[in-house]
């Protein structure tokens, strides 16, 4: 599957709601192993862009995963092509156990006979994933009883267990403690090495610690793109975050972006 | 003990209790008349098992199961009318209200085999077409409930309007035999009760297997987070349609067995009011539990009959109060009372105790 490196390529993507252009001609390419952060002020179109990639929002332009065009496919078909996402509010299946959550995530390709039978032994992939996201001790707990951070890890686990090749994570560390953020960042680093990962995030400290590259969205378009340092020194970025371009650069702008 | 007994002891005991109650206790303590009445309630309980699956597990508030109950019932009733009329004969009411000819679409139901297949297949086909169309468009919640109820209303009106071919308001009645067995013979009446009870037990077993299966887990996932399931690569519309079709088949079989036991089916048995009645039993019994819906349906129907006999005008009020009390204080139905009692913390309900020191 990953003989050649995967990549996600958006060209001139546009999303319109009742005449309002939420995403207005975004083009960007994310390569496998490049932990990409997508930042921007509220209303910049970050989540809408994720919605467009995953088939939730109707979009124009082109969104390709490798050679496969994603636009125009139904959400569950896009998911089956290996594109996975999480949501701002952790949306695990609260009434089901951690194990059941992962088992559902792992099984979109199961046939009717398997579906109509009870689960026998725990599939090996699920045990590995539990280990990876650190929830082995919690496998039989209802997901609703997990802490906020654990729910986010479970969500990421639900993408790993079905070996999603593209991970689109919408504010994965929102509401997490400092320690949980660090763990999440390290987890993303590890799983992102052989996957294509896009993280939508507001937390600038988190971004600085873990981003390989950053795309800044503003008013539905790409404002700036590059390494963390490049983006932070871009006057246009400073202007968007501060309202005006500061005259004396480094310290102020750093504060502004943070 | 074998592993299955150890793991599912309580459930197996429940099955045993239902079987003993229906096959041993009821026939020995009830008169033929009462047993036949209980047989009708057992048929309602089959509808309830299906509603438990569609609503309790799948979150589809279906206010129109009377339609599928009615489809099964009318298919069976048509066969029995034709059977009573003899080969090539014309059912009595058609000579009275119609032109004395059997309409073409009645003819297939002269065959007992076609009838038995159609009892399940027609509700299944209708539910599949409707369910697929509705769920694929993302219609759910109150909109789905209203749609399903409108369907029940429309179905009843359709039946009433076709006096010459469906018996109109009178429905179909006056049956003499069921697949050749005399319906006035008490032995055969008792046999019908056993057939219905057996069917109910089989449906409960089917529901149990579904709840234990991966499909059952997926159905709960769709109920709680439909969007999330979609992004895991499943089509939620398909998952929901399957449950809806199974519920319709259960209702259809319930309807088909109701006809020989009750001796009549009319639009009053399939419209809005009975459709909501089915639901109340399920809500009271506990919609997401295995036995709750069926027991709730049996208890509500039994209470209705006995209370109506002593206080003819009070039942509706009593039903309303009961429903309000259950919804307000026991949203999971009476089946949840025992869980409150035990209060034994099970691993799945205990809050996460310690932070894990793991590899994140």
B227–chain A nearest CA distance, Å? 9
Q: Which one of B182-186, B196-200, B278-282 scores highest in mean pLDDT?
A: B196-200
Q: How far is CA B327 from the centre of its chain?
A: 21
Contact flag B214-A114 (C-beta cutoff 8 Å): yes
A214 forms bridges with which residues in the sheet?
A37, A226
Q: How many domains does chain B have?
A: 1
Tell whether B185 is covered by a domain. yes
B220/A95 CB distance under 8 A? yes
Q: Is residue B66 part of a domain?
A: yes
Kindly state the average pLDDT of the residues B311-339: 79
B112 vs A225: CA distance, rounded Å:
73
CB atoms within 10 A of CB A89: 11
**pLDDT, tens only, A142-166:** 999 999 889 999 999 999 998 899 9
Residue B338: per-residue pLDDT = 66
| Interchain pair B349, A96: CB under 8 A | no
Residue located via tokens 């077993």 = B205
Instruction: Supply the DSSP string of A195-216, one letter for each residue.
Output: SEEEEE---HHHHHHH-SEEEE
CA–CA separation, A154 and A146 (whole Å): 9
* B210/A142 touch (CB, cutoff 8 Å), yes or no: no
**CA pair distance A241, A225, nearest whole angstrom:** 15
Q: Tell me the C-alpha to C-alpha distance, in Å, between residue A186 and each of A193, A207, A255, B27.
A: 11, 12, 24, 68
* Chain A interface disruption, residue of B206, B211, B213, B214, most A CBs within 10 A: B214
Q: What pLDDT is recorded for position A4?
A: 60
What is the pLDDT at residue A204? 86
Structure tokens at A13: 């993507």
Write out pLDDT tens, residues B228-252.
899 999 999 999 999 999 999 999 9
Distance from CA of B345 to the nearest CA of A (A): 12
> What pLDDT is stored for residue B317 in this prediction?
84
Res A257: pLDDT: 46
CB nearest to B231's CB, from A79, A114, A118: A79
Give me chain B's average pLDDT, please: 89
- pLDDT at position B182, please? 93
Which of A55, A57, A83, A107 is the best substitution to test chain B (most B C-beta atoms within 10 A)?
Answer: A107
Nearest CA in chain B to A142: B348
Q: Do A115 and B213 touch (CB under 8 A)?
A: yes
What pLDDT shows up at residue B339?
A: 62
Closest partner residue to B232 (CB to CB) among A141, A158, A187 is: A158
Domain boundaries, chain A: 7-226
Residue keyed to tokens 């600038």: A204
Contact B233 A108 (CB under 8 A): yes
pLDDT one-digit tens code per residue, B69-107: 999 999 999 999 999 998 888 998 888 888 888 999 999
Indicate whether A3 pLDDT > 60: no
Band the pLDDT of B8: cuts 50, 70, 90. confident
B214, B231, B347 member nearest A75 (Cβ): B231
Inter-chain contact B209–A116, Cβ cutoff 8 Å? yes
CATH 3.30.70.1560 at A7-226, yes or no:
no
Give the pLDDT band (50/70/90) at residue B6: confident
**pLDDT at residue A1 above 70?**
no
What is the Rg, in whole angstroms, of the alpha carbon atoms belonging to chain A? 19
Residue-range definition of the domain harbouring residue B198? 9-267
Smallest Cβ distance to A117: which of B214, B352, B358? B214
B-chain residues near A145 (CB < 8 A)? 349-352
Pairing of strands A36-39, A60-65: unpaired
Residue B171 pLDDT more than 50? yes
């Amino acid at each position: 599957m990953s003989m050649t490196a995967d990549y996600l390529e958006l060209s001139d993507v546009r999303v319109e709601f009742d005449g309002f252009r939420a995403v207005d001609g975004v083009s960007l390419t994310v390569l496998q192993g490049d932990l990409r952060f997508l930042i921007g002020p509220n209303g910049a179109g970050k989540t809408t862009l994720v919605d467009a990639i995953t088939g939730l929002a109707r979009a124009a332009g082109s969104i390709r995963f490798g050679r496969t065009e994603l636009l125009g496919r139904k959400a569950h078909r896009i998911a089956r092509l290996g594109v996975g996402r999480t949501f701002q509010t952790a949306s695990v299946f609260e009434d089901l156990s951690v194990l059941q959550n992962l088992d559902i995530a792992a099984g979109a390709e199961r046939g009717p006979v398997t579906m109509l039978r009870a689960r026998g032994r725990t599939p090996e992939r699920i045990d590995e994933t539990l280990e990876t996201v650190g929830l082995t001790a919690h496998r039989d707990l209802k997901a609703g009883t997990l802490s906020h951070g654990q729910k986010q890890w479970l969500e990421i686990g639900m993408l790993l267990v079905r070996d999603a090749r593209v991970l689109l994570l919408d504010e994965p560390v929102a509401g997490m403690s400092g320690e949980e953020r660090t763990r999440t960042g390290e987890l993303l680093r590890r799983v992102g090495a052989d996957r294509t990962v896009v993280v939508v995030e507001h937390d600038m400290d988190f971004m600085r610690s873990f981003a390989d590259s950053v795309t800044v969205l503003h008013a539905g378009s790409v404002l700036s793109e590059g390494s963390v340092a490049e983006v932070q020194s871009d006057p246009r970025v400073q202007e968007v975050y501060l309202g005006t371009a500061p005259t004396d650069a480094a310290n102020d702008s750093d504060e502004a972006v943070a | 003990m074998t592993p299955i007994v150890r793991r599912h002891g309580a459930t197996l005991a429940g099955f045993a209790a239902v079987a003993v109650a229906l096959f041993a206790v009821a026939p020995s303590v009830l008169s033929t008349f009462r047993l036949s009445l209980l047989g009708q309630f057992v048929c309602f309980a089959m509808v309830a098992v299906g509603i438990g699956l569609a609503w309790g597990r799948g979150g589809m508030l279906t206010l129109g199961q009377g339609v599928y109950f009615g489809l099964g019932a009318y298919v069976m009733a048509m066969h029995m009318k034709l059977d009573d009329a003899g080969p090539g004969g014309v059912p009595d009411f058609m000579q009275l209200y119609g032109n004395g000819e059997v309409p073409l679409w009645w003819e297939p139901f002269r065959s007992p085999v076609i009838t038995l297949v159609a009892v399940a297949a027609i509700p299944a086909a209708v539910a599949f077409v409707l369910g697929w169309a509705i769920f694929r468009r993302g219609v759910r919640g109150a909109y789905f409930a209203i749609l399903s109820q409108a369907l029940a209303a429309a179905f009843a009106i359709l039946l009433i309007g076709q006096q010459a071919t469906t018996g109109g308001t009178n429905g179909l009645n006056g049956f003499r035999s069921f697949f050749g067995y005399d319906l006035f013979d008490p032995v055969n009446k008792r046999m019908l009760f056993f057939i219905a009870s057996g069917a109910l037990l089989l449906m409960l077993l089917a529901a149990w297997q579904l709840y234990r299966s991966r499909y059952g887990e997926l159905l709960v996932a769709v109920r709680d987070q439909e969007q999330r399931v979609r992004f895991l690569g499943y089509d939620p519309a398909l998952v929901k349609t399957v449950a809806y079709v199974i519920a319709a088949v259960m209702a259809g079989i319930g309807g088909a067995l109701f006809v020989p036991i009750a001796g009549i089916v009319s639009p009053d048995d399939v419209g809005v009011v009975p459709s909501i009645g089915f639901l109340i039993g399920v809500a009271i019994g506990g919609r997401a539990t295995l036995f709750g819906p069926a027991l709730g349906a049996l208890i509500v129907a039994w209470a209705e009959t006995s209370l109506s006999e002593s206080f003819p005008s009070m039942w509706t009020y009593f039903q309303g109060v009961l429903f309000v009390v259950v919804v307000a204080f026991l949203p999971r139905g009476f089946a949840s009372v025992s869980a409150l009692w035990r209060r034994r913390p099970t691993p799945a309900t205990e809050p996460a105790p310690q932070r894990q020191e793991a590899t994140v």
